[in-house]
Amino acid sequence: MENTKHSIQEYNKTRYPILFFVMIGVLASGIGYSWSIIQPYVMEYFSIDSATASWAYSLNFGIFVVGSIIGGKLQQKYTPRTVVYIGVAVIVAGLFLTALIPPTSFWLMIVTFSVMTGIGGGITYNTRIAVMQRWFPEKKGFATGAVLCALGLSGFVMSPICSYFLGNYGFKINFLVCGCMSAVLGVISAFFTKNPPKEFIEEFVIVRTASGQEKKQYTTGEMLRTKEYYIIAASMLFAVPAYMLINPIFGLLGLERGVAQSQIMATVMIASVLHAMGRLVAPMVSDKLGRKKTLIILYIANIAAVLGMIVARGGLYLVLFPVIAFIYGGFMGTYPVVSTDYFGTKHSGINYAVVMIGFGLACVLCPFLSKAVQATGIGTALSFAIAAGACIIGIILVLILKKND
């Protein structure tokens, strides 16, 4: 026991600085979380409507899952540092190419922004989460939450930057600036990203059950043959719609509901901070309260908040959006730990990427849902009601999930 404590103290000198630089690397990754600021400029630049512009945002998050799977595969052949370099290169190329798109070719933004930055973001996201869970096997919730907190804070960092450059210099310069930031911070972060040494893994990473037996480390093929995988992936699908439906239209809908543009900008920044806090707080709480209980609490809070959005105006509207952002952050921070709890750390990179298929499906389906409900005449009210119903299904799925925490 004393030797274990001594080893942890020695490795703390390494793992906390690595965590810090990994967090630095994701601070420029929040352009998607600033989309409510960006979308009106996309609509103006390409002369398209809101529903069409939302496709770039939603597909970016959906393709992100493909990037995560690619990242998981790359980790089996290359070092984490190399994989992060690859992901950063794809992100930067996508942002630079987006800046070169002519106003008549919105479809190219689907290729450069949605596909390229989505894949690059997924590669780096998957790798960073997997590496930090290996460095903090006894604090998986903390390590995952810390990285994802930085990702959430990137929205806080990028929103005012995007607002300034879009408002003063336009669409092209904004994406060039974002590309430069991603390049600098991404390269710095990648240099410090590495797996723990073999002796650390042997001493700490093998997770044991109460009986003292080594916990099974599932391969992806083995995971896909369990019912738990399908329950977890499906529940993640139903957790996402509330945030994905409101985030792209928050600014435009806010103006319709009597909110000033300055208030919208301030609220987006507040929501980014709460989104980050959710990614940090929820997994840490789940370390003590349990994953299932934490997820159920998040679902119940999401139902209340999204139903409130049906009638919210003015101040209430401004309050509920940050609440939904916090809850969404909580979901995104907790599910990586749930995946690791059930399927082990050894193949966590590729396994969580496959779990995220549920997330990706939700991102792709939400634009269809949004467009379909607009045709009914009920509009956003129906969207929010459907999102609340999805949360109820999510609660049922979590309840039937076999306890493993």
What distance in Å separates the CA atoms of residue 43 and residue 197, rounded to the nearest whole number? Answer: 49
pLDDT value of residue 362: 84
pLDDT value of residue 1: 43
Nearest to 361 by CA among 245, 224, 238, 237: 237
pLDDT value of residue 111: 94
SS3 label, residue 214: strand
pLDDT value of residue 296: 95
Paired with 214 in beta bridges are 208
Q: What is the pTM of this model?
A: 0.74
Classify residue 27: in a domain, yes or no.
Answer: yes
pLDDT value of residue 6: 47
pLDDT value of residue 188: 92
What distance in Å separates the CA atoms of residue 217 and residue 350, rounded to the nearest whole number? Answer: 12
Classify residue 342: in a domain, yes or no.
Answer: yes
pLDDT value of residue 301: 95
Tokens 């974002």 identify what position? Answer: 178
Task: For residue 363, give the CATH number of its domain.
Answer: 1.20.1250.20
Classify residue 389: in a domain, yes or no.
Answer: yes
- Give how many domains the chain has, as a whole number: 1
Distance (Å) of CA 127 to CA 6, 150, 152, 225: 28, 15, 17, 24
Classify residue 46: in a domain, yes or no.
Answer: yes
Classify residue 152: in a domain, yes or no.
Answer: yes
Classify residue 209: in a domain, yes or no.
Answer: no
pLDDT value of residue 2: 44
Name residues of the chain where pLDDT drops below 70.
Answer: 1-9, 30, 201-215, 371-379, 404-405
Classify residue 200: in a domain, yes or no.
Answer: no
- Domain holding 92, by residue range, is 2-195+218-400
Classify residue 158: in a domain, yes or no.
Answer: yes
